[in-house]
Structure 1
Amino acid sequence: MASKALSPAAPIPAEWRDFVALTKPRVLSLVVFTGLCGLLAAPTTINPVLGFTAVLCIALGAGAAGALNQWYEADLDANMRRTANRPLPAGRMDRQSALHFGVGLGSFSVILMGLAINVLAAALLLGSILFYVLIYTVWLKRRTPQNIVIGGAAGAFPVLIGWAAATGRLDTLPLLMFAFVFLWTPPHFWSLSLFIKSDYANAGVPMMPVVAGIPATRIQVMLYTVPMAIAAVMPWPLGLTGAIYGVGASVLSAIFLGLAVRVGLRRESDPSRMKPERQLFTYSMLYLFAMFGLMVADKMVIA
């Protein structure tokens, strides 16, 4: 007897890999790293167990935000090649499961942070989740090309959370690093959007290249890089870091600025020939990791 074919309407049970994919592991690694660096660069020493708990809460909170983002944007993800194979648009998971997973994970992370660490860190963690889900995902993403500009604050929260977990307060250095990540986000994402413009256009997302065009976006990438570089180097002249951070940040930021100027002055519109844009996007990731690594290294040497 021939085996019965599976009906296309039959639900496909989600695997653990699908729940991991909901957390956006690549983004999660960056969030965890900046949060850990904020914790390690703080002027106080935290108990290793509590430090691990704080970083775990940051990871769980970021994963929850990613899951809720995918729950809300399943229709957009289905229309973009870059995201079409995610669990929801690919049909490997139903939306209700993603919603419950995101809400449960987020609630647990905030409660654990509040009980184990401190109220300020928990409040910042809650604020970061709500900002990413409600302000960026629900309100800005589909309505304005400024979605990345304002939404960049969501990715800048982890350094504040890590610092607050270690100290119970906020100081000038983490606030400057917050500003740095906030200003880094537009050139980072716009350089990506330049060579996947068609994906955003197909999904109806008003990303800058879709709304303002490629030349205008290139200029914006270059313009936003200037205040980003200033914010990146500023802790050194203010005496908040030493020469290790200051010199390293100056060199790395100069390279970023050079790549951004190269992108800004280009006139090529063929996505297959946007090598400088791809180089800037790749470098921007390495740059952020290096900047926060320098901040920690500088603190350890001074200590």
Structure 2
Amino acid sequence: MLSTTTTVVKHTAISDFKEITKMRLSLSVVFSSIAGYLLGADTISVKVLILLALGGYFMVGASNAFNQIIEKDLDALMHRTKNRPVASGRMTVNTAFIIACVFTILGIVILYTINQQTAMFGAISIFLYTSVYTPLKTKTPLSVFVGAIPGAIPFMLGWVAATDHFGIEPGTLFALQFFWQFPHFWAIGWFLFEDYKRGGFFMLPTGKQDKGTAIQVILYTIWTILVSIIPVFGFTGKLELSIVAAIIVFALGLVMLYYAILLYKKMTEKAAKQLMLSSVLYITIIQVIYVVDKFLR
């Protein structure tokens, strides 16, 4: 006798709120910001840490809410996004817009209470993500380059929050997360290629799952590794890295490079998923190593 089971996904106001603001992504951004703050701070202020976490969360939540409003019709075409609150019709555009506006105001005001530069970079991040990156996604693969700018801001935002200064140190943190995003997002664009195509998004640099894309993934992975060990050479001001930490960072980079090369060799969605997972582990562990190394020196 055959039995069938039906999985019913229960959507609540809370789950929709989490989805419209992409809570997991927002929390990862908060993690990066806090790591940057700990690297830049001479003395740690719990108050600033809390403000940075809240401001960072609101900033990313606002960007994601605006994004889902703009792309609601396209989201409805893709399996991955068709059940999002606005795309599915569970949440009205007006409700999502109110959430986005309130989050924008709260994010900028909270970051402003830390210092003006932190608020400025937060505002730039929201603007680039919603007004430049999102519209470009259906027009050119170069949108990934634009999207990498707001995506790279959180790590260096923490340093600016701690020091009220933008220089070589936060610039290096920005560069690290900037280059890292290309292999990360191209890996996602690879294994979700068909789904992205349904929505009219072509995220890969060549527009196809081909050797040209795979080679660029490898090149940007190499750039990421090189930038990640630059602080060991003493060129980056107060941002320093011990030899032991640099060796560990380099070794972790080689693991990510291994999966980038594997994608080139196999050209499969499985290989792309492995690269994506290794990239997430890489950036998370790297940020932890940077912070731990600072406090152990």
One-letter code of the match for 2:106?
F
Contact residue 244 and residue 297 of structure 1 kept, 8 A = no
Question: Which residue number in structure 1 is paired with residue 54 of structure 2?
Answer: 56
Aligned pair 1:152/2:148, yes or no?
yes
Q: Match for 1:286: what amino acid?
A: L
Could you report, residue by residue, the CA deviation over 1:98-152 in whole angstroms, capped at 9, with x for unpaired residues?
Answer: 11110111111101221x21111111111111111112112x2111111112211
The CA distance in 2 between the partners of 1:220 and 1:77, in whole Å, is 27
Q: Measure the CA separation in 2 of the matches of 1:196 and 1:267.
A: 13
CA deviation profile, 1:55-97 (whole Å, cap 9, x unmatched): 2111111111111111111112111111111101121101111
CA deviations on 1:227-258 (whole Å, 9 max, x unpaired) are 11111111112362223431221111111111
Q: Could you tell me how far 1:265 is from its partner in structure 2?
A: 2.6
Structure 2 match to 1:78: 76
Match in the other structure for 1:90 = 88
The aligned length equals 283
1:106 aligns with 2:128: no
Matches within 5 A, 1:183-262: 183-208=179-204, 211-238=207-234, 240-262=240-262
Following superposition, the deviation at residue 209 of structure 1 comes to 7.1
Measured against aligned partners, the alpha-carbon deviations of 1:13-72 in whole angstroms (never above 9, x if no partner) come to 971321221111221122111101000111422421222112211111111111111111
CA distance in 1, matches of 2:68, 2:206: 22
| Corresponding residue of 2:67 | 69
- Letter of the 1:78 partner, please give it: A
TM-score by length of 2: 0.90
Residue 165 of structure 1 aligns with which residue?
A: 161
Q: Distance in 2 between matches of 1:110 and 1:227?
A: 32
Runs of 5+ in structure 2 lacking a partner? 1-10
The one of 40, 44, 63 equivalent to 1:42 is 40
Structure 2 counterpart of 1:60, one-letter code:
F
Please report the RMSD computed on the Cα atoms of aligned residues, expressed in angstroms: 1.8
TM-score computed with the length of structure 1 as normaliser: 0.88
Give the aligned residue type for 2:126.
I
What is the letter of the counterpart of residue 75 of structure 1? D
- Conservation of the 8 A alpha-carbon contact between 1:152 and 1:186: yes
SS, match of residue 208 in structure 1? coil
**Matched-pair contact (CA < 8 Å) for 1:41–1:299:** yes
Which residue of 2 is the match for residue 174 of structure 1? Answer: 170
Distance of aligned partners of 1:70 and 1:147 in 2 relative to their CA distance in 1, 3 Å threshold = same
Contact 1:259 1:276 in 2 (8 A): yes
The structure 1 residue matched to 2:125, chosen from 125, 128, 131, is 128
Identity of aligned residues (%): 31
Gaps of 5+ in 1: 1-12, 269-273
The question of 1:30 aligning with 2:28 is answered yes
Q: Distance in 2 between matches of 1:291 and 1:105?
A: 29
User: Which residue of the partner structure matches residue 280 of structure 2?
Assistant: 285
Paired with 2:128 and 2:213, the residues of 1 have a C-alpha distance of: 25
Whole-angstrom CA distance in 2 between matches of 1:71 and 1:210: 28
